[in-house]
Amino acid sequence: MGDRRMAEIKVEDGSLYIYSHWHGFEMPGVAKAAIVTARSRWDDESYATHIIVDQMTKADRDSETGTGIMLKPNAEDQYNSGQPSVIIDLTSKTLTIIDGSNEYESIRFENIEKRGELDG
């Protein structure tokens, strides 16, 4: 049971992965809000990554379970056949969301606020 999903944060030197066990459906909206929060640091990968991870894991901050951080994508993702279905690419400044039917949407960071897409 659960609602499992992974997000990949891509930077020039590699990737970091965030796993949610219970809130997979909410992850695209949470990622969008995290990207907007990190706006002032989009050009500084280390700070932007810190802000995005902090925002995406804050719901489970004081919990032993629910959210994980990984260096390899070794968790389930029910929305993309086991591969990350939310991809935050700090090098190209794009967010890609893949749904259960492998359809995807790619949004440039600056368009997230403009399109009012913070709700998922």
pLDDT for residue 114: 62
Output the pTM of the full model.
0.90
Which amino acid would we find at residue 10?
Answer: K
pLDDT for residue 120: 47
Identify which of 79, 91, 84 has the alpha carbon closest to the alpha carbon of residue 56: 84
- The residue ranges of every structural domain in the chain are 5-114
Identify which of 18, 16, 8, 28 has the alpha carbon closest to the alpha carbon of residue 105: 28
Q: How confident is the model at residue 57 (pLDDT cuts 50, 70, 90)?
A: very high
Beta bridge partners of 88: 9, 95
pLDDT for residue 88: 98
* Segment (H or E) for 88: strand 86-89
| Chain segment 67-116, per-residue pLDDT in tens | 999 999 888 888 888 888 999 999 999 999 998 776 789 999 999 976 55
The bridge status of strand 5-11 relative to strand 86-89 is parallel
Identify which of 39, 16, 11, 19 has the alpha carbon closest to the alpha carbon of residue 108: 39
Contact yes or no for 29/119 (Cβ under 8 A): yes
- Beta strand residue intervals within 58-103, DSSP E: 67-70, 86-89, 94-98
pLDDT for residue 92: 97
| Chain segment 14-34, per-residue pLDDT in tens | 999 999 998 889 999 999 999
> What's the whole-number average pLDDT of the chain?
89
